[in-house]
């Protein structure tokens, strides 16, 4: 729209609202006059009062709309003013004005504000600096000789905390339940006994999944003893997550959700909150996790698995302890103190000091005669009168050496390993022997060491005290710790892709959970206001559904464990995880279906819940945990069949909804308005060139308001009345025989068969190879043309009997690198052209590849949808890769997301081996140069690399026959038929990247954010049974308009009742994420949502007409201690909150 027209419309709108408000006020005043007219019966007064109340409510709503309109107008004016000042075209999106327009996009200030990166350490600079030459370091193989004089502690004695821990994987070699029965329950039982025996003993515990399971088996007396140990500071719950989460493949929704689940449990049952993070086994570390921990109220954290060369560098610089800052953050607001463990592992040989053969002698679980021993062949000795002096000094030497790597004389020494402290004898061996050593130190003040058992809090308190007393400051650090290498060239980039089927299933559950949470919360709120007494509706299975939600949260949470979503567990354990994910998806569908049922009913009294016969069914069926979903064909007749589509996003969107029907002609109308929807019939291909004669695919364009349930009617239409897709088949040199009686098919021959296949819509034109169907080139409406070639390649692994090979964790490709995928015969290529979408599908032996364009005017038409169905089950030690080869001049720099929360710059470094240049990608990656940006958005996590300029490659699946010596004891050969899905977005851009301490801080564009949202949270389609006795239903539209484009409703999560366990409370966790977005291009086409430069937001307006009875800003895990009072100076309170770019904000709210 032209500037003048936008303004005219807005001013007109404000005028209308103002007139209506005045009219309302007049009406109210008349009402008030009537009130004064003499005495009337009480009932009449009540009625009038209630009418008056209704009018006031209406007036309030009008005023609030008015305010919102004024705010929008103000923003628009600001934009226009700014663009006029810079000479830009304002709302006119002509290409010449793109630059100045982009500069003035409100909300774009963020990247410009992040300037002070020069003060701290930037991890990418460290990577530039290090030679990665791996020289032998002596006893500390990957480090260096550490020297000291002995008098360093004369003034400031060494203060040492020995922290007992047991690393309990919630599934790895055994399932969660097996580990619990065989080991974990005994560890915790013994913990209760052994800590109670001596108040000097301590222990930390991280995995709430296990702790809560154990708690359920305890009697009240034992629970009381646990609480006493916690209160006394002998037992500390660290991190407090449901699991010790993977930080590479996990999405931030799930990372936060498992933290909420754990923290809520701890607070409810133990009355405390975690203060310290403990992540000793995840294979690399992400600043997104640091952000979430800080937001959850933690002050400190410990990490362990960091590249050995980085550890060594940090040790030399004494920067193993630092303040971890977000790359985009210019303030210390989100800084968290982080301790990086210096050595190879978290086991005892690698925690007391640099020499593992010495430290192992102080793991008293390895005393001779036991099941475990020291591989360095010097066994531990029990501490006796005779040997104590020699033993104490030997150990102290290690402590002192380790201490030299830190800036303070406080020392953290973990004492533990995987599944330790199972037997009571192990507790005795460790605690008795160490206590003797500590007593010896105590009796010898000339040694200047004070040693004791401690928790992480004990350590960090002492550290903070000593640092502030000495005036020592810690450096700030920006960046992440991927890709991890533990030794030599063993980079852990394989697990970024291992078991991709389950990585995809993880995200399906995540989307199901979020959708169910939101719809359930909205349903309870609607029920309360329907009944008027704040109680749920009788007959609605509120408690059962809340139980299903809780179980769903816990399944997703469990799968974030660093051996689950990583794909690094044994086969039977993978099956166990798969079952949990699968059953949770099914359970959550019940919640979704019956919530939708109630919300849709016109006459709520006709609600009836029957578990065995749900009113609504999902159109997509997942029949088993290890197969792809399939759609149920609908039987059509002349009677309308109701189809219900739920839009789980906070944005108005235009989506293509796809269903299977039993007729080649069908018609779809909006049930409310009767308006016919644009639709297309396509063939369902039983074989690549043989169409089904019984089942057909109906695709229609749905306009879906935010968070709405929209009802469509589908009917069988007259033969030949529906628009049908047309097909063209190519197979080089061998045109196929095609069976398709309902569709028009052509098989080009001669020169026509050799011309590139081209598809186009209003925004984009693409060209693909007629031989392979694979994309070659892309052109935007602006005229920008880019080469983007899709290729497929294989990686093999190293050959030779004694050579390390790729496995579940490691990627160790053969020296020849990737080999272009070739097939003995040319693939069948099928091109479909229609009104709603057009696509090109290529059938290769190991994968089916489709690229699709939607014929939509809005931004959904801007991206190419790319999907692959992969099957490499016939292969031996091979990994399949999809590569995009473009002419984008990005040099060696590209960007990948971290947990879907933020973007991280990557540099492909030649000094590192190939496998080191692969990074995790949870949802997006892009390449850019001065003129354009090519963004690939994904619906699943996998490994990504940009090995040469212009290239981006993704590892789709890996099949590896052998173990890679990290304890798993098997390869990965349980491959499945696996889907992966992407959207490719090419955008014009102007302007340079923002440099922060020589690293670029970049964000996705607004269009990329919106595309990613649609991709990760697709619409959910349900249908009602064929029955003309069905009660009437009508659409549900909870929001008047979309949320601002950059505000994401991360969750609307019903909290558990404080007094009634297992029941929902009236309180809901409202979690919003305001995204930072890129300013180098204006979104084209302009999205329907608005965005604002203001940080102050009125929640009532944002979610209108939903009403908030109360809003309390809280910490990210909704602990009551974090709650702030709501700003209630005004009556009624206005729910103004501050949403800052990149920040996640959480509120405890009650909805009406
Ligand atoms: Zn582990």
Indicate if 480 and 512 belong to the same structural domain.
no
* pLDDT band, residue 1127 (cuts 50/70/90): low
CB 467 within 8 A of CB 408: yes
pLDDT at 1083: 86
The 10s digit of each residue's pLDDT in 808-829 is 999 999 999 999 999 888 999 9
pLDDT for 1094 equals: 84
Residue listed under structure tokens 């996003």? 649
Beta-carbon contacts of 260 under 8 Å, excluding residues fewer than 6 positions away, are 1053, 1069, 1116, 1117, 1118
Based on the domain organization, do 552 and 455 belong to the same domain?
A: no
User: What is the number of residues in the chain?
Assistant: 1152
Instruction: Give the 3-state secondary structure percentages of the chain, helix then strand then coil, rounded to 5.
Output: 30, 25, 40
CA 222 to CA 225: how far, in whole Å? 5
Instruction: Give the rounded distance of the alpha carbon of 1010 from its chain centre.
Output: 15
Phi, psi of 888 (to 5 degrees): -70, 130
pLDDT score of 280 more than 90: yes
pLDDT band at residue 1092 under the 50/70/90 scheme:
confident
The whole-chain average pLDDT of the chain stands at: 90
Residue 913 sits in a domain of what CATH number? 2.70.98.30
pLDDT in tens, 595-618: 999 999 999 988 988 888 889 999
Range 799-807, long-range pairs (CB < 8 A, 24+ positions)? 804/490, 804/964, 804/965, 805/877, 805/960, 805/962, 805/964, 806/494, 806/877, 806/879, 806/958, 806/960, 806/964, 807/494, 807/960, 807/962, 807/963, 807/964, 807/965, 807/966, 807/968, 807/971, 807/972
Q: Is residue 100 part of a domain?
A: no
Average pLDDT over residues 212-238: 98
Residue 34 pLDDT exceeds 50 = no
| Most distant pair of Cα atoms in the chain: their distance | 104
Q: Which of 89-93, 426-430, 631-635 has the lowest mean pLDDT?
A: 89-93
Domain-ending residue, one of 454, 485, 516: 485
252 to 51, 173, 1026, 1038: CA distances (angstroms): 47, 26, 41, 26
Bridge partner list, 767: 758, 777
Q: Is 409 helix (H, G, I), strand (E, B) or coil?
A: coil
The CA 173 to ligand 1 mean position distance, Å, reads 10
| Residue-wise DSSP of 299-342 | -EEEE----HHHHHHHHHHT-SEEEEE-TT--SGGG-EEEEE--
Task: Please say whether the beta carbons of 851 and 789 come within 8 A.
Answer: no
Assign 998 a pLDDT band (cuts: 50, 70, 90): low
| Structure tokens, 714 | 């589908």
pLDDT band at 896 (very low <50, low <70, confident <90, very high): very high
What CATH number is given to the structural domain containing 537? 1.20.1270.50
**Domain total of the chain:** 4
Q: What burial letters (b/e) apply to 256-267, b meaning 16+ CB within 10 Å?
A: bbbbbbbbbbbb
Categorize the per-residue pLDDT at 33 as very low, low, confident or very high, splitting at 50, 70 and 90: very low
Query: pLDDT of 436-493, one tens digit each?
Result: 999 999 999 999 999 999 999 999 999 999 999 999 999 999 999 999 999 999 999 9
DSSP secondary structure letter of residue 184: I
- Model confidence at 7, pLDDT cuts 50, 70, 90, reads very low
Residues of the chain above pLDDT 90, percent:
81
Q: What is the pLDDT of residue 1134?
A: 79
pLDDT at residue 43 greater than cutoff 80: no
Nearest to 72 by CA among 1097, 1119, 1117: 1097
- The tokens of 995 are what? 């440099």
Antiparallel, parallel or unpaired: β 745-746 and 864-870: unpaired
* 561 is a domain residue: yes
Tell me the average pLDDT across 109-114.
50
Domain limit, last residue, from 593, 609, 625: 609
3-state secondary structure at position 183: helix
335-346: pLDDT as tens digits: 999 999 999 999
Q: Is the pLDDT of residue 91 over 60?
A: no
Of 553, 584, 609, which marks where a domain is finished?
609
> What's the pLDDT score for residue 509?
98
Confidence of residue 31 (pLDDT cuts 50, 70, 90): very low
Same domain membership, residue 533 and residue 476: no
476 and 413 within one domain:
yes
User: pLDDT category, 734, cuts 50, 70, 90?
Assistant: confident
Distance 214 CA to ligand 1 centre (A): 19
- Residue 650, token pair as written in the block: 């906070």
Which among 314, 407, 329 is positioned nearest to 121, based on CA atoms?
Answer: 314
Span from the CA of 172 to the centroid of ligand 1 (angstroms): 8
974 in a domain, yes or no? yes
**Two structure tokens written together for 868:** 């692959």
Sorted by sequence, the CB contacts under 8 Å of residue 292 that are 6+ apart come out as 252, 255, 256, 259, 1116, 1144
> Pairing state of beta strands 276-279 and 300-303?
parallel
Q: Is the pLDDT of residue 87 over 50?
A: no
Percent of the chain whose predicted confidence (pLDDT) is above 70 = 88
Residue found under tokens 């989307």 = 511
Q: Are residues 458 and 506 in the same domain?
A: no
Q: Are 821 and 957 in contact (CB under 8 A)?
A: no
506 with 481, same domain: the answer is no
CB atoms within 10 A of CB 629: 14
Q: Which of 80, 78, 25, 85 lies closest to 56, judged by CA?
A: 25
Lowest average pLDDT, out of 35-49, 231-245, 873-887, goes to: 35-49
| Model confidence at 67: pLDDT above 60 | no
CB-CB contact of 477 with 957 (8 Å): no
CB 617 within 8 A of CB 817: no
CA distance 438 to 684: 74
Residue 1122 lies in a domain: yes
Alpha carbon of 506 to ligand 1 centroid (Å): 19
- Of residues 997 and 200, the one with the higher pLDDT is 200
Q: Is the same domain home to 800 and 939?
A: yes
Flag whether pLDDT at 757 surpasses 50. yes
CATH for 1117: 2.60.40.1360
Rounded Cα gap, residues 986 and 936, in angstroms: 9
- Tell me the CA–centroid distance for residue 168 and ligand 1, in Å: 7
Average pLDDT rounded to a whole number, residues 1073-1099:
87
Q: Over range 137-159, report the average pLDDT.
A: 97
Query: Is 281 in the active site?
Result: yes
CB 1048 within 8 A of CB 1017: no
For residue 733, count CB atoms less than 10 angstroms from its CB and return exposed for 0-12, middle for 13-18, buried for 19 or more.
exposed
| DSSP state, residue 350 | G
**How far does the centroid of ligand 1 lie from the alpha carbon of residue 896, in Å?**
25
What pLDDT, on the 0 to 100 scale, is given for residue 806? Answer: 98
Residue 19 has pLDDT above 80, yes or no: no
Please give the distance, rounded to the nearest whole angstrom, from the Cα atom of residue 937 to the centre of ligand 1: 30
Would you say residue 1027 lies in a domain? no
Token code pair at residue 1141 = 């770019």
Q: Which of 281, 480, 587, 979 is catalytic?
A: 281
DSSP 195-259: HHH-TT--EEE--HHHHHHHHTT--HHHHHHHHHHHHTTSEEE-S--SS-B-SSS--HHHHHHHH
Those residues whose C-beta lies under 8 Å from the C-beta of residue 41, and which sit 6 or more positions away, are: none
Q: What is the pTM of this model?
A: 0.91
> What is the average per-residue pLDDT within 558-567?
98
Q: Each residue of 626-661: pLDDT tens digit?
A: 999 999 999 999 999 999 999 999 999 999 999 999
Report strand pairing: 321-325 vs 336-340.
antiparallel
Mean pLDDT computed over 950-972: 98
Same domain, 201 and 276: yes
197-216: average pLDDT: 98
In the 8-state DSSP scheme, what is residue 973?
-
The answer on pLDDT for 524 being more than 60 is yes
Compute, in angstroms, the gap from residue 982 CA to the centroid of ligand 1: 31
79: pLDDT strictly greater than 60: no
Give 1089 or 184, the one with higher predicted confidence.
184
Question: Per the domain annotation, does 163 fall within a domain?
Answer: yes
Question: Would residue 728 count as lying in a domain?
Answer: no
3-state secondary structure 809-871: CCCCECCCCCEECCCCCCCEEEEEECCCEEEEEEECCCEEEEEEEECCCCHHHCCEEEEEEEC
Q: Which pLDDT band, with edges at 50, 70 and 90, does 327 fall under? A: very high
Tell me the C-alpha distance between 975 and 870, whole Å.
10
Report the pLDDT value the prediction gives residue 89, as an integer from 0 to 100.
27
Higher pLDDT, 993 or 696: 696
> Do 277 and 360 have their domain in common?
yes
Averaged over 649-677, what is the pLDDT? 97
Could you give phi then psi for residue 1118, rounded to 5 degrees?
60, 35
CB atoms within 10 A of CB 635: 11
CA of 372 to the centre of ligand 1 (A): 19
For residue 88, give the H/E element and its range: none
**Pair 970, 1060 in one domain:** no
Looking at the domain assignment, is residue 522 inside a domain?
Answer: yes
- What span, in angstroms and rounded, lies between the C-alpha atoms of 272 and 457? 13
> What is the chain's alpha carbon radius of gyration, rounded to the nearest angstrom?
31
The whole-angstrom separation of Cα 180 and Cα 210 is: 7
Distance CA 911, CA 922 (A): 26
Distance, CA of 104 to CA of 98 (rounded, Å):
10
Task: Check whether 1042 has a pLDDT greater than 80.
Answer: yes
Q: How far from the centroid of its chain's Cα atoms is residue 848's Cα? A: 27
The sign of the CA dihedral 568, 573, 574, 579 is negative
CA 171 – ligand 1 centroid, Å: 9
Q: What's the pLDDT at 106?
A: 55
Whether residue 296 is found in the same domain as residue 444: yes
Q: Is the pLDDT of residue 576 over 90?
A: yes
**553 and 596 share one domain:** yes
Nearest residue to 768 via CA among 853, 890, 868: 853
Distances (CA, A) of 61 to 31, 708, 1093, 1146: 19, 20, 24, 25
Q: In what order do the strands lie in the sheet with 932-938?
A: 745-746, 726-730, 828-833, 837-843, 847-854, 864-870, 978-988, 932-938, 924-928, 893-898, 902-907
Residue 282 CA to ligand 1 centre (angstroms): 7
Cα pseudo-dihedral 1059, 1061, 1062, 1063, rounded to 10: -10
Q: What is the residue range of 814's domain?
A: 758-993
């Amino acid at each position: 729209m032209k500037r003048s027209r936008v303004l005219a419309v807005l001013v007109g709108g404000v005028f209308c609202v103002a007139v209506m408000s005045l009219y309302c006020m007049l009406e109210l005043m008349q009402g008030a006059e009537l009130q004064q007219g003499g005495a009337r019966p009480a009932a009449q007064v009540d009625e009038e009062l209630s009418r008056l109340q209704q009018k006031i409510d209406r007036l309030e709503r009008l005023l609030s709309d008015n305010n919102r309109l004024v705010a929008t107008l103000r923003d628009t004016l600001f934009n226009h003013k700014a663009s006029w000042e810079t000479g830009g075209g304002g709302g006119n999106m002509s290409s010449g004005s793109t630059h100045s327009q982009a500069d003035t996009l409100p909300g774009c200030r963020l990247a410009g504000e992040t300037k002070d990166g020069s003060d701290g350490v930037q991890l990418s600079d460290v990577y530039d600096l290090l030679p990665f030459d791996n020289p032998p370091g002596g006893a500390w193989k990957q480090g260096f000789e550490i020297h000291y004089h002995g008098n360093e502690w004369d003034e400031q004695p060494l203060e040492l905390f020995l922290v007992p821990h047991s690393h309990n994987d919630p599934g790895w070699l055994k399932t969660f339940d097996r580990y619990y029965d065989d080991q974990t329950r005994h560890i915790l039982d013994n913990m209760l006994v052994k800590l109670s025996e001596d108040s000097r003993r301590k222990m930390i515990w991280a995995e709430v999944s296990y702790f809560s399971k154990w708690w359920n088996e305890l009697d009240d007396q034992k629970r009381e003893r646990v609480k006493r140990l916690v209160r006394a500071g002998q037992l500390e719950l660290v991190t407090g997550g449901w699991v010790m989460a993977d930080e590479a493949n996990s999405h931030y929704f799930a990372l936060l959700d498992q933290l909420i689940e754990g923290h809520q449990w701890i607070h409810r049952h133990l009355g405390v909150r975690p203060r310290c993070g403990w992540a000793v086994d995840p294979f690399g570390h992400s600043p997104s996790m640091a952000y979430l921990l800080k937001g959850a109220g933690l002050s400190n954290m410990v990490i362990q698995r960091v590249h050995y060369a980085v550890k060594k560098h940090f040790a030399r610089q004494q920067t193993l302890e630092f303040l971890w800052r977000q790359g985009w953050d210019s303030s210390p607001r989100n800084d968290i103190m982080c301790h990086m463990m210096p050595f190879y592992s978290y086991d005892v040989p690698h925690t007391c000091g640099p020499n593992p053969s010495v430290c192992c002698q102080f793991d008293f679980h390895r005393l001779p005669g036991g099941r475990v021993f020291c591989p360095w062949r010097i066994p531990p000795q029990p501490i006796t009168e005779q040997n104590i002096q020699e033993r104490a000094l030997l150990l102290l030497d290690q402590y002192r050496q380790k201490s030299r790597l830190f800036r303070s004389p406080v020392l953290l020494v973990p004492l533990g390993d995987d599944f330790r402290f199972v037997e009571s004898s192990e507790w005795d061996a460790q605690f008795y022997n160490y206590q003797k050593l500590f007593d010896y130190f105590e009796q010898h003040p000339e040694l200047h060491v004070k040693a004791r058992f401690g928790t992480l809090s004990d350590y960090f308190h002492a550290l903070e005290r000593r640092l502030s007393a000495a005036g020592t400051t810690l450096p700030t650090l920006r960046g992440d710790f991927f890709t991890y290498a533990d030794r030599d060239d063993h980079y852990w980039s394989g697990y970024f892709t291992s078991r991709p089927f389950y990585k995809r299933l993880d995200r399906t559950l995540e989307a199901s959970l979020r959708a169910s949470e939101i719809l359930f919360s909205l349903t309870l709120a609607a029920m309360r206001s329907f009944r008027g007494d704040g109680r749920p509706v009788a007959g609605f299975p509120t408690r059962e559904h809340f139980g299903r939600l809780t179980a769903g949260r816990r399944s997703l949470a469990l799968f974030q464990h660093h051996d689950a979503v990583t794909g690094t567990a044994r086969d039977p354990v993978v099956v166990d995880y798969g079952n949990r994910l699968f059953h949770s998806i099914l359970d959550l569908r019940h919640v979704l279906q019956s919530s939708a049922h109630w919300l849709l009913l016109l006459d709520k009294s006709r609600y009836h819940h029957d578990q065995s016969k749900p009113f609504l069914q999902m159109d997509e069926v997942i029949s088993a945990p290890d197969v792809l979903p399939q759609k149920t064909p609908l039987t059509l007749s002349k009677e309308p069949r109701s189809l219900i589509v739920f839009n789980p996003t906070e944005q108005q969107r235009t989506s293509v909804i796809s269903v299977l029907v039993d007729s080649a002609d069908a018609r779809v109308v909006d049930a409310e308005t009767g308006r016919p929807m644009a639709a297309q019939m396509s063939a369902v291909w039983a074989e690549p060139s043989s169409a089904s004669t019984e089942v057909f695919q109906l695709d229609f364009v749905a306009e879906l308001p935010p968070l709405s349930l929209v009802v469509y009617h589908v009917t069988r239409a007259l033969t030949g009345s529906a628009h049908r897709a047309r097909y063209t088949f190519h197979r080089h040199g061998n045109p196929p025989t095609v069976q398709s009686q309902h569709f028009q098919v052509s098989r080009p021959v001669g020169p026509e068969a050799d011309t590139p296949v081209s598809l186009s819509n209003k925004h984009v034109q693409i060209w693909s190879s007629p031989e392979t169907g694979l994309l070659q080139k892309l052109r935007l409406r602006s005229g920008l043309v880019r080469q983007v070639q899709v290729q497929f390649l294989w990686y093999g692994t190293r050959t030779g009997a004694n050579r390390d090979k790729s496995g579940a964790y490691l990627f160790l490709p053969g020296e020849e690198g990737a080999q272009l995928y070739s097939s003995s015969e040319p693939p069948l290529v099928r091109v479909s052209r229609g009104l709603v979408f057009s696509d090109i599908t290529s059938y290769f032996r190991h994968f089916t590849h489709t690229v699709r364009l939607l014929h939509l005017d809005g931004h959904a038409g801007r991206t190419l949808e790319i999907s692959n169905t992969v099957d490499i089950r016939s292969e031996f030690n091979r990994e399949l890769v999809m590569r995009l080869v473009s002419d984008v001049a990005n040099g060696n720099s590209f960007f990948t997301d971290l947990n879907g929360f933020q973007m991280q710059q990557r540099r492909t470094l030649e000094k590192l081996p190939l496998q080191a240049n692969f990074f995790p990608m949870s949802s997006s990656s892009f390449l850019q140069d001065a003129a354009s940006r090519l963004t690939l958005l994904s619906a699943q996590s996998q490994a990504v690399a940009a090995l040469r300029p212009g290239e981006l490659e993704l590892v789709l699946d890996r099949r590896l026959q052998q173990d890679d010596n990290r304890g798993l004891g098997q390869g990965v050969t349980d491959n499945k038929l696996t889907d992966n899905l992407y959207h490719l977005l090419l955008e014009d851009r102007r302007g340079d990247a923002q440099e922060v301490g020589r690293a670029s801080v970049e964000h996705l564009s607004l269009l990329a954010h919106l595309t990613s949202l649609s991709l990760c949270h697709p619409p959910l389609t349900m249908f009602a049974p064929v029955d003309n006795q069905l009660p009437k239903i009508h659409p549900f539209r909870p929001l008047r308009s979309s949320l601002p484009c950059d505000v994401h409703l991360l969750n609307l999560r019903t909290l558990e009742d404080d007094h009634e366990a297992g029941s929902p409370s009236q309180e809901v966790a409202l979690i919003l994420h305001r995204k930072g977005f890129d300013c180098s291009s204006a979104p084209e086409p302009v999205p329907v949502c608005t965005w604002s430069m203001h940080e102050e937001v009125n929640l009532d307006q944002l979610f209108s007409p939903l009403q908030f009875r109360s809003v309390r800003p809280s910490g990210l895990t909704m602990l009551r201690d974090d709650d702030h009072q709501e700003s209630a100076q005004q009556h009624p309170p206005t729910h103004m909150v501050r949403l800052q770019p990149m920040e996640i904000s959480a509120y405890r709210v009650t909805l009406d």
